[in-house]
Amino acid sequence: MKNFRHSPLPLLSFIFHLILSIPPISSQMCLRDCGGMPLRYPFGSGPGCGDLRFQRYVTCKDGKLTLTTHTGSYPITNIDYSSQVAYLSDPSMSTCDCSQPSKGFSLDWDAPFSFQDDNIFALLDCSLDSSPIYPPNADGNNNSSVVPLCDTKGQPICSFLNSCRAISMLNLPISTCCVYAPVDLGPSYEMDLQKLKCSSYSGFYSFNGQEADPEKWKYGIALKYKFNVYNDYPGSCSACERSNGVCGYGGAYNSYICVCPNGMNTTSDCFFGASWSGAQRGLTWHKGMWLAYSLACILVLVML
């Protein structure tokens, strides 16, 4: 067996080849879609992608884009980027196809979303005796003749919904339905059906040109979102996406970055970043290699 004290070259050669075998480490990767749904700013596929404000609420998991609030998780079915509207469904919502109990839907008060004006919520199976949405009449009793504390906009929505077989199976009078249009759940964006003494609700954002046919309505919830206080689309982000990059954030201050297809980050776009990132990756790797090699040399000198 050779003595490394008299021949350090084998040790140096072993360490050098070990370093060469270590692949360079790339940065985060951001997907451009989630389960086939295109992802653009401010939405992202994971931490470091999209806008930090939205990361807490919108996530991509198992190929499904989901909005999460304190009342549950809701699949996002479509995003209209030109109008800045996200459409989602609530599995507990009653529709013409299915009627079921629900706790309601609520947004977190600090979420970067608000209800689109086209939303219509219909509260179903509400108690006539003690529901807060039915104010007492002159003799202090609640009854169906009292106008509910919500705007019907002159639309016989409850009558149409009651024509649905699934909803009519509730076997309750039409007067137990109350319509919110436009939706106004107060500053907390809270629809607590238990507190309102209603067992279910239905929501839709379009009559789809068939006002009298609830089977054709587009059921779900439409949420408006803003990029920032002034609702300005970041110019740097637009340039990043044109270069096939994904807008994201990172660093000590979670500042803007452009994540390129090769996994490297730039502060501009991927046209410039394509050559820079490759050089930066090589530079970072060689720095690490020479640092390890220097440590190996120091170890050999100590052993001599």
Domain residues of the chain, as ranges?
9-28+234-303, 89-225
CA gyration radius, the chain: 29
Locate 246 and state its tokens: 């994904």
Residue pLDDT, tens place only, 183-231: 777 777 888 888 888 889 999 999 999 999 999 999 999 999 998 888 8
Which has more confidence, 39 or 172? 39
pLDDT at 183: 75
Q: Under a CB-based contact definition with an 8 Å cutoff, are residues 103 and 91 in contact? A: no
Residue 58 pLDDT grade (very low, low, confident, very high; cuts 50, 70, 90)? very high
Q: Which amino acid is at 221?
A: I
Quote the CA–CA distance of 259 and 250 in Å, as a whole number.
10
Burial 216-237 (b: 16+ CB within 10 A, else e): ebbbbbbbbbebeeeeeeeeeb
* Range with the poorest average pLDDT among 30-34, 111-115, 172-176, 221-225: 172-176
Q: Is the pLDDT of residue 20 over 60?
A: no
Q: Under a CB-based contact definition with an 8 Å cutoff, are residues 202 and 119 in contact? A: no
Beta pairing class for 218-219 and 33-34: unpaired
pLDDT at 147: 44
List CB contacts of 67: < 8 A, sequence separation 6 or more. 57, 58, 73, 74, 76, 86, 88, 113, 223
Rounded to the nearest integer, the mean pLDDT of the chain is 79
Kindly state the percentage of the chain with pLDDT values over 90: 42
Q: Which amino acid is at 183?
A: V
* Range with the poorest average pLDDT among 20-34, 80-94, 124-138: 20-34
Residue pLDDT, tens place only, 256-285: 999 998 878 888 889 864 444 443 443 333
DSSP annotation string for 212-268:
T-GGGSEESEEEEE-SSTT-PPPHHHHHHHHTT-EEEEETTTTEEEEE-TTS-EESS
**Conformation bin of residue 197: beta by default, left when phi > 0, alpha when psi is -120 to 50:** left
List CB contacts of 121: < 8 A, sequence separation 6 or more. 179, 180, 181, 183, 191, 201, 202, 203
pLDDT at 75: 97
